[in-house]
């Protein structure tokens, strides 16, 4: 069969299977094993299982449950409450202040976990009720929480960058450092957007009343600043041993998880319920990811082995007759479009190997490309109709946050993310400066 046809067939069947609403891993895995059995020839049936053994050797995946667990310990024990109170008190007086505070909270949450799910949980349970009580605009609330929590995968530690490091074979330490500045830049741009919107239309985000402001004393304001020490402590406990080479990546992730537990214990919030929920949810999320990655790895290997991977490479590199930058932009655009419809993790595992080898063939810096890739993933989390944060928002928010509200709310924030993406593309130093400075690459 023609390679291009195989590529087209496998992708379109996968899309169709996903549309059936069957579990994503089942949909992808089904296409993978059927394609292998129909087209591979003898021995094709083993292609599904060999992905399990491949995954076992991917040592950095040990960090996945740890970073997820950290996030759950934090959200379940409501460790972030003081942190939120801090931002509330300091930024509340400004128009849009609480929304800005929420973004800053999300930055803090991001340095303590590797996915966006913890940010979503904390945003929905701690920030959302407060924002509603203060009559913030629903679109603003929904957008801020979804966009802010997506920073979890760009600001280190990041599970997506761990996966990227496995696929692109790049050091995760460099990738993480490279994500930091663009992550902070994106947060600043979110804040700039919120500020401008709220100056133009103060009704979106009413500032704290004068009476309430008068109640907050300076000693309290200063006392609350201490809450900011928590993320610094957890981040340092994890990153200092890692960047100094005292602990490996996997060991550092355990130290991080245990630091979160320690913080919760010290604050007397590590109850049986917290332990139980965090442990169970960590299993659920880890299983979800691992099953998708397993299926997607099979899909990718079958896709490669049937020659479809090469067909795509030839299409971009030879048939199109474009320059490297044009191809890069095309790749990002196609990924954005696919991110709307397909599962983000599956995309990462299936599409990344092809795109990574393309980007490498075109001579781009792989660390920089990893950051572009992660920002694209963040956007995929948010773009309708399919995206993790959209689903999580629907599941966690009160019923008045209908799907249309959630869909519409992300629009301006997606534009800000695209702006960040463009800035990092035009100025690669935004990503590369920090790793070069710290690691002297």
Partner 1 sequence: QETIKWRMQTYAGPALAEHVVKPAIDAFNTIANGQMEIELFYADQLVPTSELFRAMQNGTIDAVQSDDDSMASPTEVTVFGGYFPLGLRYSLDVPALFNEWGLNEIWGEEYAKVGVKHISAGSWDPCHFAMKEPVNSLADLQGKRVFTFPTAGRFLAQFGVVPVTVPWEDVEVAMQTGELDGIAWSGITEDYTVGWSKVAPYFLTNNISGAWIGHFFANMERWDAVPPHLQELLKVCFEQSHYYRQHWYWAGEAKLRVEGTDMQLTTIPDAEWAQVEAAAATFWDEIAAESETKAKVVEIIKKYNDTMTKAGRPYRYG
Partner 2 sequence: MPGWTKTYVRWIEALNYRVGRFAMYLLYAMMAILLWSSVTKFIHIPALWTLEMAQFTLVAYYMLGAPYSLQLGTNVRMDLLYSRFSPKGQAIWDVFTIFALMFYLGVMLYGAVDSTAYAIEFNERNPTAWRPPLWPIKVIISVSFLLMLLQASVHLIRDIAVIRGEEI
Q: Which is nearer to Na ion, 207 or 379 (CB)?
A: 379
Cα angle: 323, vertex 329, 332; to 5 degrees:
140
Concatenating the DSSP letter of every residue in 111-178 gives TT-SSSHHHHHHIIIIIHHHHHHTT--HHHHHHHHHHHHHGGGTSSS-HHHHHHHHHHT--HHHHHHH
Q: Is 146 exposed, middle or buried (0-12, 13-18, 19+ CB in 10 A)?
A: buried
Rounded CA gap, 152 and 156, in Å? 7
Instruction: Give Dmax (Cα) for the chain.
Output: 78
Nearest-approach distance from CB 378 to partner 2, in angstroms: 17
The answer to whether 110 contacts Na ion (rule: CB under 5 A) is yes
Residues that bind partner 1 (CB under 8 A): 40-44, 46-47, 50, 53-54, 57-60, 165-166, 169-174, 242, 245-250, 301, 304-305, 307
Per partner kind, with CB cut-offs from 5 to 8 A, the member of partner 2, Na ion, partner 1, none near residue 172 is partner 1
Q: Is 155 exposed, middle or buried (0-12, 13-18, 19+ CB in 10 A)?
A: buried
358-417 binders of Na ion (CB under 5 A): 380, 383, 386-387
The answer to whether 6 contacts partner 2 (rule: CB under 8 A) is no
CB atoms inside a 10 Å sphere around CB 184: 16
The answer to whether 184 contacts partner 2 (rule: CB under 8 A) is no
The answer to whether 61 contacts partner 2 (rule: CB under 8 A) is yes
The answer to whether 395 contacts partner 2 (rule: CB under 8 A) is no
The answer to whether 422 contacts partner 2 (rule: CB under 8 A) is no
Of 54-62, 99-107, 176-184, 356-364, the window that binds partner 2 (rule: CB under 8 A) is 54-62
Report whether 52 contacts 294 (CB < 8 A): yes
Alpha helices (H) in 244-397, listed in sequence order: 249-266, 272-305, 308-314, 324-341, 344-361, 366-382, 388-396
Nearest-approach distance from CB 307 to Na ion, in angstroms: 29
Please identify which residue in 139, 184, 216, 258 interacts with partner 2, judged by CB under 8 A: 258
Cβ neighbours of residue 309 closer than 8 Å, sequence gap 6 or more = 7, 300, 303, 353, 354
The answer to whether 273 contacts partner 2 (rule: CB under 8 A) is no
Record the tokens describing residue 151, joined without a space: 């920073």
The answer to whether 172 contacts partner 2 (rule: CB under 8 A) is no
Q: What is the sign of the dihedral through the CA atoms of 231, 242, 282 and 350?
A: positive
Nearest-approach distance from CB 76 to partner 1, in angstroms: 29
- Here's the x/- map for partner 2, 88-127, by CB under 8 A: it reads as ----------------------------------------
Cβ neighbours of residue 277 closer than 8 Å, sequence gap 6 or more = 72, 76
State which residue has the least CB distance to Na ion: 387
What distance, in Å, lies between the first and last C-alpha atoms of the chain?
A: 45
- Here's the x/- map for partner 2, 333-362, by CB under 8 A: it reads as ---------xx-------------------
Please identify which residue in 121, 181, 255, 358 interacts with partner 2, judged by CB under 8 A: 255
The answer to whether 30 contacts partner 2 (rule: CB under 8 A) is yes
Nearest-approach distance from CB 82 to partner 2, in angstroms: 26
Q: Which is nearer to Na ion, 216 or 340 (CB)?
A: 340
Nearest-approach distance from CB 52 to partner 1, in angstroms: 10
Nearest-approach distance from CB 230 to partner 2, in angstroms: 21
The alpha carbon of 10 is separated from its chain's Cα centroid by a whole number of angstroms, namely 26
Report whether 120 contacts 382 (CB < 8 A): no
Per partner kind, with CB cut-offs from 5 to 8 A, the member of partner 1, partner 2, Na ion, none near residue 219 is none
Nearest-approach distance from CB 54 to partner 1, in angstroms: 4
Record the tokens describing residue 407, joined without a space: 């869909």
Per partner kind, with CB cut-offs from 5 to 8 A, the member of partner 1, partner 2, Na ion, none near residue 291 is partner 2
Nearest-approach distance from CB 354 to partner 2, in angstroms: 21
Position of tokens 């602990």? 247
Q: For 417, how many CA atoms within 13 A lie in the half-sphere containing its CB? A: 29
Nearest-approach distance from CB 126 to partner 1, in angstroms: 33
Report whether 73 contacts 264 (CB < 8 A): yes
Closest residue by Cα to residue 312 from 365, 263, 350 = 350
Per partner kind, with CB cut-offs from 5 to 8 A, the member of partner 2, partner 1, Na ion, none near residue 110 is Na ion
Residues that bind Na ion (CB under 5 A): 110, 152, 155, 158, 339-340, 380, 383, 386-387
Residues that bind partner 2 (CB under 8 A): 17-27, 29-30, 32-34, 37, 45-46, 48-50, 52-53, 55-57, 59, 61-62, 65-66, 69, 246-248, 250-251, 254-255, 257-258, 279-280, 282-288, 290-292, 295, 342-343, 385-386, 388, 391
């Amino acid at each position: 069969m023609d390679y291009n046809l195989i590529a087209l067939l496998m992708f379109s069947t996968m899309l169709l299977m996903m549309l059936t609403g069957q579990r994503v891993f089942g949909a992808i895995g089904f296409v993978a094993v059927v394609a292998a059995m129909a087209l591979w020839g003898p021995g094709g049936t083993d292609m599904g299982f060999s992905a399990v053994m491949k995954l076992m050797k991917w040592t950095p995946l040990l960090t996945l449950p740890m970073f997820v667990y950290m996030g759950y310990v934090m959200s379940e024990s409501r460790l972030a409450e003081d942190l939120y109170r801090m931002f509330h008190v300091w930024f509340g007086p400004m128009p849009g202040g609480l929304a800005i505070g929420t973004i800053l909270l999300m930055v803090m949450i991001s340095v303590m976990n590797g996915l966006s799910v913890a940010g979503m949980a904390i945003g929905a349970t701690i920030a959302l009720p407060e924002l509603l009580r203060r009559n913030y605009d629903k679109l603003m609330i929904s957008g801020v929480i979804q966009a802010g929590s997506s920073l979890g995968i760009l600001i280190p530690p990041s599970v997506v960058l761990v996966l990227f490091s496995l696929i692109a074979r790049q050091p995760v330490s460099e990738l993480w450092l490279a994500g930091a500045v663009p992550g902070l830049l994106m947060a600043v741009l979110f804040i700039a957007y919120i500020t401008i919107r709220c100056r133009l239309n103060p009704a979106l985000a009413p500032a704290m009343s004068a009476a309430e402001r008068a109640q907050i004393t300076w000693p309290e304001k200063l006392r609350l600043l201490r809450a900011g020490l928590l993320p610094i402590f957890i981040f340092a406990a994890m990153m200092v041993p890692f960047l100094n080479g005292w602990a490996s990546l996997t060991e550092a992730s355990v130290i991080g998880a245990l630091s979160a537990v320690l913080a919760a214990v010290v604050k007397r919030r590590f109850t049986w319920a917290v332990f139980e929920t965090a442990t169970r949810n960590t299993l659920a999320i880890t299983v979800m990811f691992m099953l998708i990655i397993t299926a997607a790895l099979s899909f990718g290997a079958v896709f490669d082995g049937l020659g479809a991977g090469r067909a795509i490479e030839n299409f971009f590199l030879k048939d199109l007759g474009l320059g490297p930058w044009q191809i890069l932009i095309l790749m990002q655009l196609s990924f954005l479009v696919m991110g709307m419809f397909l599962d983000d993790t599956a995309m990462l595992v299936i599409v990344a190997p092809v795109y990574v080898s393309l980007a490498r063939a075109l001579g781009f810096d792989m660390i920089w490309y990893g950051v572009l890739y992660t920002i694209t993933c963040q956007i995929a989390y948010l773009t309708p109709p399919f995206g993790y944060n959209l689903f999580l928002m629907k599941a966690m928010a009160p019923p008045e946050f209908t799907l249309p509200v959630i869909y519409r709310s992300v629009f301006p924030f997606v534009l800000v993310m695209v702006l960040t993406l463009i800035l990092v593309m035009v100025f690669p130093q935004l990503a590369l400066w920090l790793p070069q400075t710290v690691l002297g690459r």
